Structure 1
């Protein structure tokens, strides 16, 4: 099983993530495409495709550090998305992890 995909596949994955996953702040949803985080998450997940969608999703979300307050605070993306979004990311990653 190959763990690397080409740049067009990374872009395709990023587009799938961009308008489906979001950061939730109060009652406000900021989609990862609008936040400029979709491609970073796609690349981070891609590094772990050989370990399956569950591990790739978890490590990807933990690996992206989101700057808040002008960079004063950083939180992993996993702390900023609603719990059900993890399963959405797994579903998006599944075809790439086969």
Structure 2
């Protein structure tokens, strides 16, 4: 499914404000980390599969660079299960 530019931007803003990486007790929102746009684009590519699969595949597909690029981890390894369910809820509105 393809979103128009307005819908994609709306999705990006929702992700930026509601989804965060959790490190210990510290929350870094994806908008601040510069990851909301790559995640929105990756989610868009999988929306036809439903919110659960789109969220799972997108979080696996977005690679997060750590330590100045010395290490790469999929976003799925850095968000809590609660945040994953939050992303699914966001994507429900965009799935066919």
TM-score, with structure 1 as normaliser: 0.96
Q: State how far apart, in whole Å, the 2-side matches of 1:15 and 1:42 are.
A: 9
Q: Structure 2: 5+ residue runs without aligned partners? A: none
TM-score, with structure 2 as normaliser: 0.98
Q: Structure 1: 5+ residue runs without aligned partners? A: none
Aligned residue number for residue 23 of structure 1: 21
Report how many aligned residue pairs link the two structures: 96
Aligned residue number for residue 4 of structure 1: 2
SS in 1 for 2:79: coil
Residue 8 of structure 1, CA deviation? 1.3
Alignment of 1:6-85 (within 5 A): 6-85=4-83
Aligned residue number for residue 91 of structure 1: 89
Q: State how far apart, in whole Å, the 1-side matches of 2:81 and 2:51 are.
A: 16
Residue 93 of structure 1, CA deviation? 0.3
